[in-house]
Chain A
Amino acid sequence: MGTERLDHQPPYRRRVNTVFQSYALFPHLTVEQNVAYGLRVAKRPAAEIAQRVAEALDKVKMTAYAKTKPSKISGGQQQRVALARALVNRPRLLLLDEPLSALDANLRRQMQVELKSLQREVGIAFVFVTHDQEEAMVMSDRIALLRSGELEQVATPREIYSRPATAYVAQFIGHTNLLKGDVRGGVVRCASLTWATSLPDGQALFSLRPEHVGLVGSGAGVSGGDAVRVRGRVLHQAFHGATELIRVECAEGLVLVVRTASGAGVQNEVELEFSPADAVLVRESPERK
């Protein structure tokens, strides 16, 4: 961190604090004493402790509960106390280990917003561990996507979504169509689909987001003369609120998932189109244990 090596230091000397998944608040101490813990063990003067604890509790709006034991407050409140307890030490980095996984969906969304604004306010890096792709997309400036302990890609949410590096990343974040193609002489062949490419000859794997596939004649089609078109039969339709996901079976066993606007009266037989530019080349993800 900065120019320091962290792995050579015992955890209690690192200027990194953690918000634990279970919050790990000390049950025998009050909210206030929990927050003061880090400063007390660092033997800060009492006046400074009192002031910084008060500030930290104020920041997470828990001042009213200062004298309460953790068992008497709700999960969301415990979460705030855990945050205050970590931030009061002015760490240079804050680790959050799935901090919102124990909260219900509503509270969770609310805390996501609060955490984000809190992070901007204190201006330090938050490393936020989550299994929730959407949460990662909403909250991050940068996402490090790990698979079995190994990095697949580090990038902004936008880049992760629009330019996934590997097939695993493409499938993990959002829906996608993985197209395995054969490149020969500047032409990609995937089942009955073909389009021009500048790739060298060989096998290639492409990720094509469902929203980049349009229905011909629906008005939401793809512009440009090089659009790839294919006919198919609708297998399945799933309602997702503003949009619908449709699975379409094309020739030679190819199945494409298409995102359309809800209620765009879809027939049994449809013609699909997409722009080759939206088929993003991805690395094959090797099978891992």
Chain B
Amino acid sequence: MFSRAYKTVVTVPPLVWVTVFLLVPYFLMFCYSFWSVSPAQAIVHSWNFDNYKELLQKTVYWQTLLRSMWIAARVMVFSLLLGYPLAYFLSFYAGKRKDLLYQMVIIPLWVSYLVRAYAWKTILGSDGVLNTLLQYVHLTSHPLDFLLYSPFAVVLTLTHIYTPFTILPIYAALEHIPRSLVEASHDLGATPTQTFWKVIFPLSIPGVVAGATFAFVLSLGDFLAPLLLGGPSGIMISNIVVSLFGAAYNWPLGAAISLGMLVIVVSLLFLSERLEKKWSFS
């Protein structure tokens, strides 16, 4: 159907792209993770499992990983709790305003992540909008310091940033539900609440799984929000990787952690795809 030349032109660039920007870096990272650093701060190209042993033995890495997962899990839950009703409203009740509201979900994505993270800093800081307001209405006499530089600030910011990523797949899933099914459910005597839980929600599960995966995976690997707003108690695993590749100059250990993260994320994506398939009925 297509000429050989056409096929070559179409397939080669993506292959080159994936090889140069994905496979080669991963391969290098894989190699680094089995190397080590000499006392003189040089990479020693001798193969060993020392980095992985260190990872398993030092509790700081485990704790940070667990904290990162705990933060990501909360972001996931809050994004779903915020995103689902919004997507549901958008799909079923927005009517003529649907397109406008949909754009309003998208627009925050145009604004740089950094700007949005900084915005929270000005809101949550001790001289920030929120504290000033709370003191002005005499709900508190001195600035609340848990608002900024805490896991709370990280969860809040990441929830704000990643909620659109949960809204979009849930919205898409809801849009795919034939409205005749809703009609049929009412016809068979189901109340609107029963219809939601027995028909609409089960059929939107693939979207929920996709949205949850986005929120969790993106939050898990995030390092800007904890860097700007997390403080010492809000450090996440990516911050450790960044410092290992930077100030600490321990690329091999950083590579080992990165590969560990990669395994976790790929397993999650695999699991999520299985779940989505199990619940899709098109």
User: Which residues of A are in contact with B by a Cβ distance under 8 Å?
Assistant: 10-13, 16-18, 20, 22, 24-28, 37-38, 40-42, 69, 71, 85-86, 89
List of A residues within 8 angstroms of B185 by Cβ? 26, 37, 41
Q: What are the 4 closest A-B residue pairs judged by CB atoms, nearest first?
A: A27-B281, A38-B188, A24-B184, A24-B180
Residue B194 interfacial (CB < 8 Å):
yes
Min distance, Cβ B206 to any Cβ of chain A, angstroms? 11
Which positions 2-18 of chain B face chain A at CB distance < 8 Å? Answer: none
B189 CB contact (under 8 Å) in A26, A38, A69:
A38
The distance in angstroms between the C-alpha atoms of A41 and B186, with both chains bound, is 10
Q: Are the C-beta atoms of B203 and A37 separated by less than 8 Å?
A: no
Q: Are the C-beta atoms of B188 and A17 separated by less than 8 Å?
A: yes
Give the residue among A12, A13, A85 with the most B Cβ atoms within 10 A: A12
Min distance, Cβ B1 to any Cβ of chain A, angstroms? 30
Min distance, Cβ B192 to any Cβ of chain A, angstroms? 8
Q: Are the C-beta atoms of A71 and B194 separated by less than 8 Å?
A: no
With A12-B189, A41-B198, A85-B188 in contact, do A28 and B281 touch (Cβ < 8 Å)? yes
Q: Are the C-beta atoms of B190 and A71 separated by less than 8 Å?
A: no
The distance in angstroms between the C-alpha atoms of A10 and B186, with both chains bound, is 9
Min distance, Cβ B235 to any Cβ of chain A, angstroms? 42
User: Which residues of B are in contact with A by a Cβ distance under 8 Å?
Assistant: 178, 180-181, 183-191, 194, 198-199, 202-203, 279, 281-282
Can you give 21 A-B contacts (C-beta < 8 A)? A11-B187, A12-B187, A12-B188, A13-B189, A17-B187, A17-B188, A18-B184, A20-B184, A24-B178, A24-B183, A24-B184, A25-B184, A26-B185, A27-B281, A28-B281, A37-B185, A37-B190, A38-B188, A38-B190, A41-B185, A69-B281
Min distance, Cβ A79 to any Cβ of chain B, angstroms? 14
List of A residues within 8 angstroms of B191 by Cβ? 12, 41
Q: Are the C-beta atoms of A20 and B183 separated by less than 8 Å?
A: yes
With A24-B181, A41-B191, A41-B194 in contact, do A12 and B281 touch (Cβ < 8 Å)? no
B203 CB contact (under 8 Å) in A17, A24, A27:
A27
Q: Which B-chain residue is minimally distant from A15 (CB atoms)?
A: B189
The distance in angstroms between the C-alpha atoms of A11 and B187, with both chains bound, is 6
The distance in angstroms between the C-alpha atoms of A12 and B186, with both chains bound, is 5
With A28-B202, A28-B279, A71-B281 in contact, do A22 and B180 touch (Cβ < 8 Å)? yes
The distance in angstroms between the C-alpha atoms of A25 and B183, with both chains bound, is 11
The distance in angstroms between the C-alpha atoms of A86 and B178, with both chains bound, is 19
